[in-house]
A and B are shown apart, each in its own frame.
Chain A
Amino acid sequence: MSDIKRCTRCILPESLSNITFDEEGICNHCRKYEADFKNWDSIKERKFKEFEEILEKAKKLKRPYDVLVPLSGGKDSTYALYLCTKIYGLKTLAVTLDNGFLTRPAKDNIRNALASCNADHIFYSINSKNSSELFKIFTEKTGDFCNACMRGINYSIEFAAKSFNIPLVIKGSGRRVQSVSQIKEVSSLNTASYFANVIRGTDAGNKFRYLSADKNKLEFQKIAGGGSVIFLA
């Protein structure tokens, strides 16, 4: 076991750039988390009420679908689908992006989940030969390929939400439980403009330029905690 200093709360090590520790040994990321999210127990009832109000608003609009759920087959997105369909009875469109590397267990879970509820589903599958080409370019130019995939996911959400005029997107995520993945050292750039800049002048430029279209600009909205511009249509 190394004797490197770690945050006494979250165990992040001092080797992470920009980490600092206070006199209690708690890191700046944990302190920021406290400031941003406070005590969940003290706010959870209010947040739950807000959640139900948002769903009610979406329902009242009487669109073809009340809600869009991005579905990967993992536990979190499947739970979002369960809540929307089986607990709240929302007209739900699930959307899956297969980046060419979606696993067999995930595909099985998607099929089983859809058979267990009444959601409709769009499956957008990028051929693995094409996505491999894209990921290679991203890795060579940026050292990372997840941003390419995230752009594909956001694009498929934007495309489906726009096509069916869906007022609400519920993702199986949340800033409260993913605060560490949003710190600068590990966070992803998945904006359309970043995507466009990376593929410009490469072989993937023509093939994937459509993913740079950001007419709906989901990424500019606050992802959690409400506060985003809603129901403008």
Chain B
Amino acid sequence: MRFIPQHIGMYDYIYLPFTEIIDILKCEMNWSDAAGSVEHLDCHLHDIPFYKDTLRIPYITKYTFHSSGTYPAGTYDKGTGASEGRS
């Protein structure tokens, strides 16, 4: 029979606020946010698609889609977003 692994996204089953996750990772996995950003620190080209969105769609900043995804899930709040200049 054909082999198909189950393929799941962890956050659909289990969720902690990301600040708690960062604390755990620093302590347990010797993880570092290096340049001070905890988002997408893994790829040198990461900013390009977000820059492209700002060219493609008026009133979009490089933060918009990330922020918009986190508000409905309750994982970020607009006060924090506004204070960081993210919209």
Number of A interface residues at 8 Å Cβ cutoff, please give it.
93
CA distance A165 to B39 in the complex (A): 32
A102 vs B24: C-alpha distance when bound (angstroms): 23
Considering the chains assembled together, what is the distance between the CA atoms of A7 and B72 in angstroms?
A: 11
A232: contacting residue among B3, B9, B29, B59, CB under 8 A: B3
Query: In the complex, are the beta carbons of B5 and A74 less than 8 A apart?
Result: no
Given A75-B21, A173-B11: A230 in contact with B31 (beta carbons within 8 A):
no
- Name which of B34, B58, B72 has the most chain A CB atoms within 10 A of its CB: B72
User: What is the CA–CA distance of A33 and B12 in the complex, to the nearest angstrom?
Assistant: 13
Whether A82 touches B28, Cβ cut-off 8 Å, given contacts A74-B40, A75-B22, is yes
Q: Is A79 an interface residue (CB 8 A)?
A: yes
Beyond A9-B72, A146-B49, A232-B1, is A108–B34 a contact (Cβ under 8 Å)?
yes
Question: Mind listing 15 A-B residue pairs with CB under 8 Å?
Answer: A12-B68, A37-B73, A68-B5, A75-B22, A75-B38, A79-B24, A116-B30, A144-B52, A168-B5, A169-B5, A170-B8, A176-B73, A177-B73, A225-B12, A228-B6
Not counting A40-B15, A51-B10, A171-B10, a sample of 14 additional A-B residue pairs whose C-beta atoms are within 8 angstroms of each other reads A7-B68, A11-B71, A11-B78, A15-B60, A74-B42, A75-B18, A103-B41, A105-B41, A106-B42, A170-B10, A179-B69, A221-B6, A226-B8, A229-B4
What 3 A-B pairs come out closest when comparing CB atoms? A174-B11, A105-B34, A51-B13
